[in-house]
Structure 1
Amino acid sequence: MVDDPQPRRGGAPAVIGLWVLTRALSMVILATAERLVVGDVFYYWRKVSALAEAGLPGTLREYPTPVVWFLSIPQLGGGSRTGYLIAFVVLMLALDAVLTYALWRGAGRRRDRAIDFWIAYVFLVGPLCYTRFDMVPAVLAGGALLAARRRPWLTGALTGLGAAIKLWPALLAGAFAARRAGRGQMLCAFVVVGFGLAALSLVTGGASRLFSPLTWQSGRGLQIESVWATPLMVARAFDPARWTVRYSTFQAYEVFGPGVSALLVVSTAATVLGLLVTVALFVRGYRNPGVTAVGLGLLVLATIAITTITNKTLSPQYLLWLGGPAAALLLSRRSEGPRWHRVLGRLAVQLLVLALLTQLTYPLLYNGLLGRAPALAVVSTVVTALRNLSLLVLTVEVCRYAWLALARDSAVEPGAVEQDPDPA
């Protein structure tokens, strides 16, 4: 991604025009080629519509309780299924627009490559972005990173809200705490919002409902798009009789057959290892009295990438989580001088390729993975494998650069990892 020597002044009409054009194209694609991605929204509608009968403890138990409250918002526009779908998509578009505006404000009310990246990234992931609520944690994480330098209390509040919605953003509190300035404010706001919503969830839904998302996640199998399912899915493309793909009780397509149990064990071990790597990065950040904006951004991005890649589940919308923080990270690139421009530009290009491969994986080539289109089986499997390999490479690179950027010597060059004097 080529960077401008200076950000372009103004540029609001161009930003608005680009956003409107790409989002309108996304809506056309949603209404034509990718209509199947609305299935989850209809599922939310059925559950929310039956909330009065099932009660909060029996509604959407796979998600944290605040998700039920959030998913009830589109229901305010009317009780029909179509009305709920329209309201849901409009709500996701609004969140998308909010982060676009925040990036524009953060760039000094100028058009910036960070804004272009966010607009392109969401477009390349596809209309799926507007039919899942993963736009929420993506926008919250991006907003938290944007606010980290001047409003640490807002960073903590947004992170706590993200944790209440999707759980994994709780790890980001550890990343944001690496910056000493405003650490107390950030952690206090995180505890008040995050634990406050947890307490409210306990009071309204009970203990069983509070912990049901964790038990649900632990019981899930090997999702076909996950990194750990890749070897079996590649083998299945050439020998479909040995492995089957079924829609499980956990509302996801999982692979069954030889090697699944072993790879589930491997994924658990990888999750533990990923957590250790994440903690090591946190410790390195804590030991640095002057964590830079780029160092903090890379730490946040590394935390999300590790969480995404080590899991036994990897739904396509999870890739959206990386987009918000990556855009905020790009916005901070000039604060470090020119040496980080090339690194962050390359990471941005890799993310855009990942976004496109994700839309190809789901929904465009998904029938090949499911075995419904034998002619597409090999192509869809290869594309998914390339996406997962690219995600693995990106994660390793982001961790490497985060480790470098968090060094005590802030003058260390991105290409000088071997000369890093601080082995901790």
Structure 2
Amino acid sequence: MTVGAARRALGGRAALWIAFAVAHLLVALLGLWGFGWPLGDLATYRAWAQEADFGAVRMGIDVPWVYPILAFAPMAAALALGHEWYDQAWLAIVTGLDAIAFAILLGRGVLTRGRRAAAWWWMGFAVLLGPVALGRIDAVTVPFAVVGLLVALGRPRVAATLLTVGAWIKVWPAALIGALMVAVRRRAEVAVIAVALSAGVLGVSLLAGSGLNALGFIGEQTGRGLQVESPGAVPFLWMIAAGDATHRVYYDRDILTYQLLGPGTADVAWWSTPALVVAVAAVVVVGVRAVRRGASAGRLLAPLSLAFVTVLVLANKVGSPQFATWLIAPVVLQTVLDRRRALVPALAGLGVALSTHLVYPYLYGWLLIADPALVLVLTLKVALLMLLLAWAVRAVWQAGSAPGRRADRPVGAGRSAGEE
């Protein structure tokens, strides 16, 4: 087979769907059979769903919860095959949602190089990231985010709907709504839909008897300490690795995660929230500057979205491994619109996925004892995230310095402006 024939074969829809199936099957098998308890969070989801199924406690309704209220929908749906098949049902649900988003990414028209590259990148990212690519609540929000950004340029109301639903499953897609409101002209429509849907979700929750528990996830997150995988934990982990006995890793049984304890850790955890607010405000300022200088939404939306999500990860005191999935939607959109300019974020994103997988789940125990090799891997991951943020902010700034001339049109199906 010639190089050209091989390239055409790998770029066809059949090859891409085979890659989708292989990638999801491999990641699912790693989750079901890999060591290190890779699907550990699903046990917690199942317990919550079972409590509601047995008529005991409804999370987010009867008691405050760490997640927004719609997160309970996929958790409860995974009971459809019975309690003993919960993990398999969860993986099937996430795979089905991914398949819908993947089909929209490929579109019905001409399969452009940008779409092919984005599809291959997404599947490669999932394999490199491993089980957390499917086995966390964040995985449910990824297809909402991917489709939301893909249709945002031409159908901002549809995008706002999808992203708002995603934000009520896991908060992070709210950052993409923020990027959408800065980048597109029909921002008032986006705001109205986001507010109306949120009011509807809260209204239904109140009718179900939630009271203020529907907003309990806000307080639950702010009360957390400095998690061991977070960027802010890196200096303290190096101190422990160097033999410092004043800092240690402990297991918080209320939050069900490993956190750091010692001088300065509480201060870093507290300051992470103000730092996040300042960093987000700075990104907004750069984005608004670009808009006022005539930057098109087609050139601005992807890097602005990437800047927002990397800020959320870097300034986050939690730093869970599944946060890496937040990078997927912005990088996919950037690759679809301009695959050549997407090279840096695509490669850096793959590096983040691989470094995350190396730490969790297989070698996570070594990070808990601050083994220098694992702390180095975490440090490299943080460096890659900083590179992503720098690239994204620079791209947003450049969008305002040299506005793109391409029209803003939908990329949800077929060829559109900005694609190669």
TM-score by length of 1: 0.86
Percent sequence identity is 27
Residue number in structure 2 paired with 1:337: none
How far residue 263 of structure 1 moved from its aligned partner, in angstroms, is: 1.9
Query: The residue matched to 1:108 in structure 2 has which SS?
Result: coil
Query: Are residues 391 and 359 of structure 1, via their aligned partners in 2, closer, same or farther at CA, if it must alter by over 3 Å?
Result: same
Letter of the 1:222 partner, please give it.
L
| Farther off after superposition, 306-315 or 162-171 | 162-171
Of the three residues 94, 103, 106, the one matched with 1:104 is: 106
Residue number in structure 2 paired with 1:325: 330
Query: The residue matched to 1:360 in structure 2 has which SS?
Result: helix
Of the three residues 188, 194, 197, the one matched with 2:192 is: 188
Whole-Å separation in 2 of the counterparts to 1:8 and 1:191: 45
| Farther off after superposition, 174-183 or 148-157 | 174-183
Whole-Å separation in 2 of the counterparts to 1:317 and 1:277: 25
1:330-379 deviations in Å (ceiling 9; x for gaps): 10116xxxxxx2x31121111111110010111122010122xx8xx121
| Farther off after superposition, 175-184 or 311-320 | 175-184
1:169-196 deviations in Å (ceiling 9; x for gaps): 2232231123444434433332332332
Query: The residue matched to 1:212 in structure 2 has which SS?
Result: helix
Whole-Å separation in 2 of the counterparts to 1:22 and 1:150: 30
Of the three residues 44, 62, 73, the one matched with 1:69 is: 73
Of the three residues 250, 258, 278, the one matched with 2:263 is: 258
Whole-Å separation in 1 of the counterparts to 2:376 and 2:283: 30
Residue number in structure 2 paired with 1:145: 149
Residue number in structure 1 paired with 2:235: 231
How far residue 63 of structure 1 moved from its aligned partner, in angstroms, is: 1.0
| 1:307 and 2:309 matched | no
Query: The residue matched to 1:36 in structure 2 has which SS?
Result: coil
Residue number in structure 2 paired with 1:128: 132
Whole-Å separation in 1 of the counterparts to 2:273 and 2:43: 32
Whole-Å separation in 2 of the counterparts to 1:59 and 1:75: 21
Residue number in structure 1 paired with 2:41: 40
| Farther off after superposition, 98-107 or 68-77 | 98-107
Whole-Å separation in 2 of the counterparts to 1:274 and 1:71: 33
Residue number in structure 2 paired with 1:162: 166
How far residue 290 of structure 1 moved from its aligned partner, in angstroms, is: 4.8
Query: The residue matched to 2:404 in structure 1 has which SS?
Result: coil
How far residue 406 of structure 1 moved from its aligned partner, in angstroms, is: 3.5
Letter of the 2:104 partner, please give it.
A
Query: Are residues 165 and 30 of structure 1, via their aligned partners in 2, closer, same or farther at CA, if it must alter by over 3 Å?
Result: closer
Letter of the 1:275 partner, please give it.
V
Whole-Å separation in 2 of the counterparts to 1:199 and 1:405: 40
1:12-40 deviations in Å (ceiling 9; x for gaps): 11101212222222233223334502211
Query: Are residues 332 and 289 of structure 1, via their aligned partners in 2, closer, same or farther at CA, if it must alter by over 3 Å?
Result: same
Whole-Å separation in 1 of the counterparts to 2:108 and 2:335: 11
- Unmatched 5+ stretches in structure 2: 406-420
Whole-Å separation in 2 of the counterparts to 1:60 and 1:70: 18
Which structure's relative contact order is higher, taking Cα pairs within 8 Å and 6+ residues apart? 2
Letter of the 2:13 partner, please give it.
A
1:146-168 deviations in Å (ceiling 9; x for gaps): 00122111111012112211223
Letter of the 1:385 partner, please give it.
T
1:63-93 deviations in Å (ceiling 9; x for gaps): 1111123311111222x2x311110111111
How far residue 8 of structure 1 moved from its aligned partner, in angstroms, is: 5.5
How far residue 106 of structure 1 moved from its aligned partner, in angstroms, is: 7.3
1:31-52 deviations in Å (ceiling 9; x for gaps): 3334502211011111111112
TM-score by length of 2: 0.87
How far residue 305 of structure 1 moved from its aligned partner, in angstroms, is: 1.0
Letter of the 2:234 partner, please give it.
T
Report the aligned-residue RMSD. 2.3
1:247-296 deviations in Å (ceiling 9; x for gaps): 11211110111221332244234212212213213422442445241311
Query: The residue matched to 1:186 in structure 2 has which SS?
Result: helix
Query: The residue matched to 2:250 in structure 1 has which SS?
Result: strand
Residue number in structure 2 paired with 1:400: 394
Query: Are residues 183 and 268 of structure 1, via their aligned partners in 2, closer, same or farther at CA, if it must alter by over 3 Å?
Result: closer
Whole-Å separation in 2 of the counterparts to 1:264 and 1:35: 27
Residue number in structure 2 paired with 1:382: 376
Residue number in structure 2 paired with 1:92: 94
Letter of the 1:130 partner, please give it.
L
Residue number in structure 1 paired with 2:203: 199
Cα contact 2:183–2:296 (8 A) shared by 1: yes
Residue number in structure 2 paired with 1:422: none
Count of residue pairs brought into register by the alignment: 393
Query: Are residues 107 and 278 of structure 1, via their aligned partners in 2, closer, same or farther at CA, if it must alter by over 3 Å?
Result: farther
Whole-Å separation in 1 of the counterparts to 2:204 and 2:292: 36
Residue number in structure 1 paired with 2:342: 344
Query: The residue matched to 1:18 in structure 2 has which SS?
Result: helix
- Unmatched 5+ stretches in structure 1: 335-340, 412-424
Whole-Å separation in 1 of the counterparts to 2:33 and 2:205: 39
Query: Are residues 136 and 281 of structure 1, via their aligned partners in 2, closer, same or farther at CA, if it must alter by over 3 Å?
Result: farther
Whole-Å separation in 1 of the counterparts to 2:102 and 2:8: 16
